[in-house]
Amino acid sequence: MAGWIVPPPKTPTKSPAQYAEERRRKVRWLEAQGLLESERIKAALLAVPRENFIPAEYRDYSYEEVPLPLPGVSATISCPHSYPLFYEPLGLDRGHRFLEVGTGSGYGAAVAREVVGAEGLVVSVEIDPLTHEFAKQNLKRAGYTDVVLVLGDGGLGYPQAAPYDRIAITAACADIPAPLIAQLNVGGRAIAPLVENEGQNLTLVTKQPEGVRRETLCQVLYVALRGAYAGGAESVDR
Ligand SMILES: C[S@@+](CC[C@H](N)C(=O)[O-])C[C@H]1O[C@@H](n2cnc3c(N)ncnc32)[C@H](O)[C@@H]1O
């Protein structure tokens, strides 16, 4: 996993109370960094126990700023700060129809479900069968029974539940796949790490009647998108 140093696997030692305290401390840190502003996203991050979405051997590192390995090929749960980093510029809010490409652990889908509420919708697509199964078990155990989990190529979106108000692509690609733009409402936003100049730029796209407007936000480092829209990130596996 080039680019990140994965901490050594070990038997978990922390209590639920310790995790809860680390979660509250992380939220305060994200606010202090200016990464977290919205009350709904803050409440969602406080509501979802991230440690319950992480394999036991990495659980003690749940609130450290490092992506952690998951069952599957090159699958990871992103760093804690990734979630407000994506959801704040998206303006993810109550009632939104949200599509996530790259379910990973299911944690991002759970946080999104807390934000959009029962009147919204969360659909999440994962290409790796082992990772998909891991997320399915995590979300079921955590009580998120109405998140639509799809095993497939998220580059193709999920037209059955389109259109979406917001789309997050959590793996790096050369450009936002055309089917995802097609499945986005006019006025809707999508966010993705785009491979540019041998690095990755987190890019926010807004769909307008006359086309899409792009805004580069910051440099990031994510696993490469697989499937029909793979390309552009072959040299970067994290
Ligand atoms: C950074 S991880 C996602 C983290 C996840 N959002 C979470 O909260 O744990 C990226 C994920 O994208 C998945 N992925 C890669 N290409 C994909 C594709 N074409 N369609 C769906 N998932 C894909 C990987 O298997 C990996 O699980």
Contact between 96 and 188 (Cβ < 8 Å): no
CB count in 10 Å sphere of residue 200: 23
| 78 part of the active site | yes
Residue 2 has a pLDDT of: 53
Q: Mind listing the pLDDT tens digit for each residue in 98-135?
A: 999 999 999 999 999 999 999 999 999 999 999 999 99
Q: At residue 96, does pLDDT exceed 60? A: yes
- Mutate which of 53, 74, 77, 128 for ligand 1 pocket (most atoms within 8 A of beta carbon): 128
Residue indicated by tokens 């090159």:
74
CA angle 211, 216, 217 (to 5 degrees): 130
Residue 198's pLDDT is what?
80
* Residues contacting ligand 1 via CB (< 6 Å): 72, 75-78, 101-102, 104-105, 107-108, 125-128, 131, 153-155, 170-171, 222-223, 225-227
pLDDT tens digits, 170-211:
999 999 999 999 999 999 999 999 999 889 999 999 999 999
Atom number in ligand 1 closest to CA 105: 9
Atom of ligand 1 nearest to the CA of 83: 8
pLDDT of residue 74: 86
With tokens 């995590």, the residue in question is 138
Question: What is the separation, in whole angstroms, between the first and last Cα of the chain?
Answer: 5
pLDDT over threshold 70, residue 232: no
Side chain identity at residue 105, one-letter code? S
Q: Given this model, what pLDDT does residue 217 score?
A: 98
Reported confidence tier of residue 22, pLDDT bands at 50, 70, 90: very high
According to the model, what pLDDT value does residue 237 have? 34
Which one of 15, 62, 78, 235 is the catalytic residue? 78
Strands 184-196, 199-208: pairing is antiparallel
Average pLDDT of 152-166? 98
C-alpha dihedral sign at 209, 211, 217, 222: positive
Question: What spacing in Å lies between the alpha carbon of 207 and ligand 1's midpoint?
Answer: 23
Say what the pLDDT of residue 3 is: 74
Identify which of 73, 74, 149 has the alpha carbon closest to the alpha carbon of residue 107.
149
Phi, psi of 172 (to 5 degrees): -80, 135
